[in-house]
A and B are shown apart, each in its own frame.
Chain A
């Protein structure tokens, strides 16, 4: 049986992530610098430019999912009124807190708990659940919770949208200063952070587009691991250095014709969240089927091409509104076409994540419209990002195998 090929850069990833968590842990324990919690596609650059170290609870929730601890934690949040039907990142994370558990303590010696924040900062561009999630911790710890109320179902991103979000961001900066007793925005640091964030974004985009090569040196499953620094360290030199190293290794693989999936027969696109608790199993399933999942909307979500250090506020507003998840179905269908042109895939897997409607784009006929327009077939997998009670593995395997049989003709 084929084995999953590992990039050497993965070793560097372990160090980079460890440094990240130890830095935040030290800050939380010493009280300096201050700790801000931020949603994964929230205004991290702004927070860094105000001197905070930034912690991303979604990353923590994904670790809960990937380590299969989520299902031990979710019921605790359900029991205090957070429904099994809502975001299982939220229920995993709050449930873990209620149980006094964090996988960080298992992974990193000396870390006992998640870092208590000085401020919680959200952006509802993904969903309302992130705000509810942060507000729970705000009540629990009596710390300020501030944020940006974003748009939904956006077609063209207009000046109206940008002005609104940029205005909210400026007010947010002032509100954070007031709420935290003096953390002030450093305009020069904001520009530098944006420069680094944009560079990180550009490199991450280049990394993902290496999968356009045939055979692809990268799978979606690799992407979900290597996106870590783009999520939690964008705006730092560390993230830039990481992706330069990764890109160099991938270019080497392409030059040598190394395939992530040996004997690549089919190329697929993954639409929706990963099933974190089954990442390895799914990677192996596709490997054995000699089918490479070459690209995904999910990994692309940390590409912020609009960021511009010379126009910080408007470019941040645009970057965080241009995201796929914020957009309407016409935009999304057109986006898939662009991905098809870049990656040349044979089919699409739509993951219908039970607790994440905003990342489940198969509920309003979009797969059928895209298939009709392009002739690209699709299947839908019922599952979830973290709650494995919503996932029927045998049924999913049968669907995927049958889909590959269909592509075989």
Chain B
């Protein structure tokens, strides 16, 4: 009987909105990638995305050599051997794709992050949004809810806009009030949505200096790539979206697990 040596590494990223799992092999190749809603039970979400990732890869839990968890719910992943912050994991994930000095901009469900990386992937500094969800995924979700629009429609609407409104308020709740007033006055919804995305870009751009190459991650740009285009317009140079941007944190966690075991 042959005993299989565990040779896969699992990263679990429990964000405030979605839970992600990425499974990589010894070479760092992605074997499975899963994104699901986090819900209110983070432990259950972690178990669910692990199960889905293992199923997608066609392997059992015995194949996993190590699990690293990250994200807002990283402490709820009981089966993880180690925990790392989402700052480190996003940095590691982006460095995997772009091994050079750059700036990571992650727009998550409730957190925005700007992370400065050196040429070897070392973190030179980082900034997170203040205690306010303006400019995060939660802001966009709230606007979509108030306008009764499916989230999946927002990017298309913004791309079709012929004009653009200016959102004056910092506050999500007051922004909604402002937007509902515009809708009542007959401003095209597409122009409003483009204005909402512009507001997100402004919140991000004011967080920190976005030096050099800028790579974006997170669910917001995964579903709304126009945000990266608009940030590029604001910076005067193109902005890159990392592959599978919503799962970059989980990928980073998986790669850290691999680094820990192999190095």
A206 at the interface (CB under 8 A from B): no
Binary per-residue interface labels of chain A (377-403) against chain B in the complex, 1 for a CB within 8 Å, 0 otherwise: 111101000000011101100110110
Chain B residue nearest in CB terms to A354: B131
**CB <8 Å contact, A402 and B72:** no
B123 at the interface (CB under 8 A from A): yes
B85 at the interface (CB under 8 A from A): yes
Residues of B near A255 (CB, < 8 A) are none
A30 at the interface (CB under 8 A from B): no
Least CB distance, A202 to chain B, in whole angstroms: 38
**CB <8 Å contact, A405 and B123:** yes
**CB <8 Å contact, B88 and A402:** yes
- 95-150 of chain A: CB within 8 A of chain B: none
Residues of B near A392 (CB, < 8 A) are 131
Cα–Cα, bound, A406→B123 (Å)? 6
Contact flag A405-B87 (CB < 8 Å), given A377-B125, A394-B72, A395-B111: yes
Cα–Cα, bound, A401→B87 (Å)? 9
B185 at the interface (CB under 8 A from A): no
Q: Which of A379, A392, A406, A409 has the most CB of B within 10 A?
A: A406
Cα–Cα, bound, A380→B122 (Å)? 20
B184 at the interface (CB under 8 A from A): no
B96 at the interface (CB under 8 A from A): no
B31 at the interface (CB under 8 A from A): no
Least CB distance, B222 to chain A, in whole angstroms: 21
Residues of B near A391 (CB, < 8 A) are 131
Chain A residue nearest in CB terms to B209: A368
Cα–Cα, bound, A382→B72 (Å)? 17
Cα–Cα, bound, A392→B133 (Å)? 12
- 116-157 of chain B: CB within 8 A of chain A: 122-128, 130-131
Least CB distance, B209 to chain A, in whole angstroms: 9
Q: Which of B85, B124, B125 has the most CB of A within 10 A?
A: B85
Least CB distance, B212 to chain A, in whole angstroms: 17
Least CB distance, A172 to chain B, in whole angstroms: 40
Interface of A is mostly: helix
**CB <8 Å contact, B122 and A409:** yes
**CB <8 Å contact, A401 and B85:** yes
Cα–Cα, bound, A394→B110 (Å)? 11
Least CB distance, A238 to chain B, in whole angstroms: 41
Residues of A near B130 (CB, < 8 A) are 382
Partner of B131 from A377, A379, A382, A405 at Cβ < 8 Å: A382
Residues of B near A378 (CB, < 8 A) are 125
**CB <8 Å contact, A405 and B88:** yes
**CB <8 Å contact, A406 and B126:** yes
Cα–Cα, bound, A391→B130 (Å)? 10
Partner of A395 from B84, B123, B125, B131 at Cβ < 8 Å: B131
Contact flag A406-B84 (CB < 8 Å), given A382-B130, A382-B131, A394-B72: no
Chain B residue nearest in CB terms to A383: B131
Chain A residue nearest in CB terms to B83: A401
**CB <8 Å contact, A398 and B128:** yes
Contact flag A398-B86 (CB < 8 Å), given A405-B123, A409-B122: yes
Cα–Cα, bound, A402→B111 (Å)? 14
Chain A residue nearest in CB terms to B88: A405
Cα–Cα, bound, A392→B128 (Å)? 12
**CB <8 Å contact, B128 and A395:** yes
Chain B residue nearest in CB terms to A398: B85
Residues of B near A380 (CB, < 8 A) are 127
Cα–Cα, bound, A16→B131 (Å)? 39
Chain A residue nearest in CB terms to B110: A395
Partner of B85 from A390, A405, A409 at Cβ < 8 Å: A405
Cα–Cα, bound, A401→B126 (Å)? 12
**CB <8 Å contact, A406 and B125:** yes
Least CB distance, B133 to chain A, in whole angstroms: 10
Least CB distance, B129 to chain A, in whole angstroms: 8
Least CB distance, A149 to chain B, in whole angstroms: 33
Binary per-residue interface labels of chain A (42-58) against chain B in the complex, 1 for a CB within 8 Å, 0 otherwise: 00000000000000000
Cα–Cα, bound, A406→B86 (Å)? 12
Cα–Cα, bound, A395→B109 (Å)? 13
Least CB distance, B186 to chain A, in whole angstroms: 37
Residues of A near B88 (CB, < 8 A) are 402, 405-406
Least CB distance, A185 to chain B, in whole angstroms: 48
Chain B residue nearest in CB terms to A371: B125
Chain A residue nearest in CB terms to B87: A402
Chain A residue nearest in CB terms to B111: A395
Chain B residue nearest in CB terms to A378: B125
Chain A residue nearest in CB terms to B120: A409
Residues of A near B122 (CB, < 8 A) are 409
Residues of B near A402 (CB, < 8 A) are 85-88, 123, 126
**CB <8 Å contact, B128 and A399:** yes
Cα–Cα, bound, A391→B87 (Å)? 20
Binary per-residue interface labels of chain A (185-226) against chain B in the complex, 1 for a CB within 8 Å, 0 otherwise: 000000000000000000000000000000000000000000
Residues of A near B72 (CB, < 8 A) are 394, 398
Least CB distance, A192 to chain B, in whole angstroms: 48
Cα–Cα, bound, A380→B127 (Å)? 8
Residues of B near A377 (CB, < 8 A) are 124-125
Residues of B near A406 (CB, < 8 A) are 87-88, 123, 125-126
Partner of A390 from B86, B87, B131 at Cβ < 8 Å: B131
Chain A residue nearest in CB terms to B208: A368
Cα–Cα, bound, A405→B127 (Å)? 14
Least CB distance, A222 to chain B, in whole angstroms: 26
- 160-177 of chain B: CB within 8 A of chain A: none
Least CB distance, A281 to chain B, in whole angstroms: 14
Binary per-residue interface labels of chain A (354-391) against chain B in the complex, 1 for a CB within 8 Å, 0 otherwise: 00000000000000000100000111101000000011
**Which 7 A-B pairs give the minimum distances between C-beta atoms?**
A402-B87, A402-B85, A392-B131, A406-B123, A405-B88, A382-B131, A401-B85
Residues of A within 8 A of B (CB): 371, 377-380, 382, 390-392, 394-395, 398-399, 401-402, 405-406, 409
With contacts A398-B87, A409-B122 known, what are 5 further pairs, Cβ within 8 A? A392-B131, A395-B131, A398-B85, A405-B87, A406-B126
